Amino acid sequence: MDIRRTVLWVVFSLSLLMLWDKWQQHNGKPPMLFPGTSEQVKPASSATVEKPNPESLPGATNATGAISVDAANMAAATKGETITLITDVFKADIDTQGGELKRLELLKHKDTVDKTKNVVLFDSSASRTYLAESGLIGGAFPNHKTVFIARPGTRTMDTSGSLQLVLDADQGGVKLTKTFTFKSGDYHIDLKHDVTNTGTAAVTPSVYLQLVRDGSKPEGESSFYSTFTGPAVYTEEQKFQKLTFEKIEKNTEEHASKADNGWIALIQHYFVSAIILPPQTQREIFTKKIATNLYAVGSIVSLGSLAPGATASLDSLLYSGPQESAVLEQTAPGLDLVKDYGWLTIIAKPIFWLMTQIHKILGNWGWTIIVLTMLIKLAFFPLSAASYRSMAKMKMVTPKMTEIRERFKSDPQKMNQAMMALYKTEKINPLGGCLPIVVQIPVFISLYWVLLASVEMRNAPWLGWIHDLASPDPYYILPVLMAVSMFVQTKLNPKPPDPMQAKVMMFMPIIFSVMFFFFPSGLVLYWVVNNVLSIAQQWVITKKAEQKFKPA
């Protein structure tokens, strides 16, 4: 066995595998390394569960492909008005037709494509659809197509720190009052439904709340790495379940359909919208296709039988904002899982916690990445040192290995026997340089996902020309430095005796540098610092090894 071949090809193969995995995800195919990023978790029970009938919701696609609208909605021909509410973190547009939240601008987060604009999460335009809708089913009751009447009130948050919009609609003998409450500095929106039976007979209405979105990726998504965009469902019994628009399209999705806890959400890179109901509230969970490239995920809550004059209420919470771990953890159990690190979450979470502690001291995410990289290198110093010592010894016996290859090039079996005899004579462990690298790979992959998923890096400057650690280096300085550092590393490593391997290793810095031209600068900064520290460590250890070990 040739340790040089093993070490070089393990690193190179894993790198290519990760790149291929990302390319597969970008082209809509299931990933190999991180299946959680695009495939949902199947229910724990194999028993068939009854799913709510999407046909009962206004706007559902029927079997013929047409949009089914009840007669009461067709009678409601009056067009609604758009009411704009402004807080210190939101600019929200709510349509009185249905009380639909149809536009939500995040005032403290800049757009990925155009930095002069803010992120628009909810939208109802020709190019994008992302909405929050709610209403009643169980009769010809007010729903997200009914025109509501807005009560008078302020539309811009004042010093009270609270802003409220109240909408009323009376239809089919039932009055529905929707109350939106916004709070200062808060990405949570309280949404209350008060239902009153204004008729002469008992009714059994149910409240539905749904998030509607087109199946397109957010604008500005990189072609060189893929992040999840789609619905998610969480219950205490079946935990976190990611769903894909493709499976909703084919009606092959599987997820929890009944629960008295949890939440439903729509996820995209850095941001999430989630509807959370009070604990112990029995609900049915559904996903459905509404129209071409338009999908919904939601919950249905029965209010039971309401006698004439009786009122029932349902409180709910809509979180719509950045995936900040501390905020998500406080909002609802399991909501922090939308910031997904894949199967390496158990390693990634402590790494992110350590980053936050460092940031509290330094106050800059760029320097935080550098210090974190140094700490990780320090933690793995013994393993790295063992690997570099093994490589140094291999480098010293390279002439003998080359001689053996030339002597037995026509007899591979004798060549391997001679190699093993050489390893024994020189006391070289063929896996000595490989195993330390393999042990560190999960940590490096975890850190990759932490840096890629952390919204804290968006618009976070480091120094000089780096104004956003979540965006590519505008002048490509870091990718060039990375290519140079990788080239130096290849020179320090034992030269592969196989000419083809040698050429591949020489081209690796070029391949990686081209790829990293399009990666977030925070990720490239980590790799540059890591490579520089590795070069320094390897150079020192190699020099010491050359003095200590002499070929027998």
How does pLDDT run across 375-417, given as a tens digit for each residue? Answer: 998 988 887 777 777 777 777 777 787 788 788 878 888 888 8
Q: How confident is the model at residue 22 (pLDDT cuts 50, 70, 90)?
A: low
pLDDT for 389: 73
Q: Is the pLDDT of residue 37 over 80?
A: no
Categorize the per-residue pLDDT at 510 as very low, low, confident or very high, splitting at 50, 70 and 90: confident
Listed in sequence order, the DSSP H helices in 52-192 are 71-75
* pLDDT at residue 61 greater than cutoff 60: no
More confident residue, 487 or 236: 236
**Closest CA relative to residue 28, chosen from 214, 213, 226:** 226
Phi-psi region of 394 (alpha: psi -120 to 50; beta: other; left: phi over 0): alpha
C-alpha distance from residue 417 to each of 9, 15, 310, 453 (Å) = 21, 30, 89, 48
Asked if residue 471 has pLDDT above 60, the reply is yes
Strands 82-86 and 174-183: unpaired
pLDDT band at 181 (very low <50, low <70, confident <90, very high): very high
Q: How many CB atoms lie within 10 A of CB 367?
A: 16
pLDDT of residue 119: 96
| pLDDT for residue 48 is more than 50 | no
Least confident of 112-116, 377-381, 493-497, 533-537: 493-497
**Amino acid (1-letter code) at residue 66:** A
| 124-130: average pLDDT | 94
Lowest mean pLDDT among 13-17, 212-216, 391-395, 484-488: 13-17
Residue 434 is predicted with a pLDDT of 64
pLDDT over threshold 50, residue 210: yes
| Residue the block writes with tokens 């619905």 | 231
Residue 267 · residue 319 · CB < 8 Å: no
Supply the mean pLDDT for the chain: 83
Long-range contacts, stretch 325-334, CB < 8 angstroms, 24+ apart: 325/352, 326/356, 327/187, 328/272, 331/188, 331/274, 331/276, 332/234, 332/262, 332/263, 332/274, 332/276, 333/234, 333/236, 333/261, 333/262, 334/234, 334/236, 334/239, 334/240, 334/262, 334/263
Question: Residue 67 pLDDT more than 50?
Answer: no
Exposed / middle / buried, residue 411 (Cβ in 10 Å: 0-12, 13-18, 19+)? exposed
Point out which residues pair with 411 in neighbouring strands: none
SS3 state of residue 427:
coil
Q: How many Cβ atoms are within 10 Å of 48's Cβ, its own excluded?
A: 8
State yes or no: pLDDT of 336 exceeds 50.
yes
Residue 68: pLDDT band with limits 50, 70, 90: very low
Q: Given pLDDT bands bounded at 50, 70 and 90, which one contains residue 58?
A: low
User: Averaged over 46-59, what is the pLDDT?
Assistant: 46
> What is the tens place of the pLDDT at every residue in 342-377?
788 889 999 999 999 999 999 999 999 999 999 998
- Nearest Cα to 37, choosing from 451, 525, 449, 359? 449
pLDDT at 432: 58
Q: Is the pLDDT of residue 195 over 90?
A: yes
The pLDDT confidence band at residue 55, using thresholds 50, 70 and 90, is low
CA triple 249-250-253, angle to 5 deg: 90
User: Helices (DSSP H) in 454-551: which residue ranges?
Assistant: 477-492, 499-516, 521-548
Amino acid (1-letter code) at residue 339? K
| CA atoms of 80 and 291, how far apart (whole Å) | 22
Higher pLDDT, 451 or 52: 451
* Sign of torsion over alpha carbons 476, 462, 377, 535: positive
Q: pLDDT-derived band of residue 96, with 50, 70 and 90 as boundaries?
A: very high
For 495, which DSSP code? P
The domains located in the chain, with CATH, are: 3-15+349-547 (no CATH), 53-338 (2.70.98.90)
* pLDDT greater than 50 at residue 219: yes
> What's the mean pLDDT in 151-172?
95
Residues 157-184, mean pLDDT to the nearest whole number: 96
Ramachandran area for residue 220 (φ above 0: left; ψ -120 to 50: alpha; else beta):
left
| Contact criterion met (CB below 8 Å) for 383 and 440 | yes
Of residues 227 and 101, the one with the higher pLDDT is 101
- 412 or 103, which is more confident: 103
Tell me what pLDDT residue 430 has: 61
| 283-291 and 239-242 strand pairing | unpaired
Res. 65: pLDDT tops 50: no
Q: Collect all residues with Cβ–Cβ distance below 8 Å to 537 and sequence separation of at least 6.
A: 377, 381, 384, 385, 388
Mean per-residue pLDDT, 301-312:
97
Local structure of residue 63 (DSSP, 8 states): T
Task: Say what the pLDDT of residue 438 is.
Answer: 75
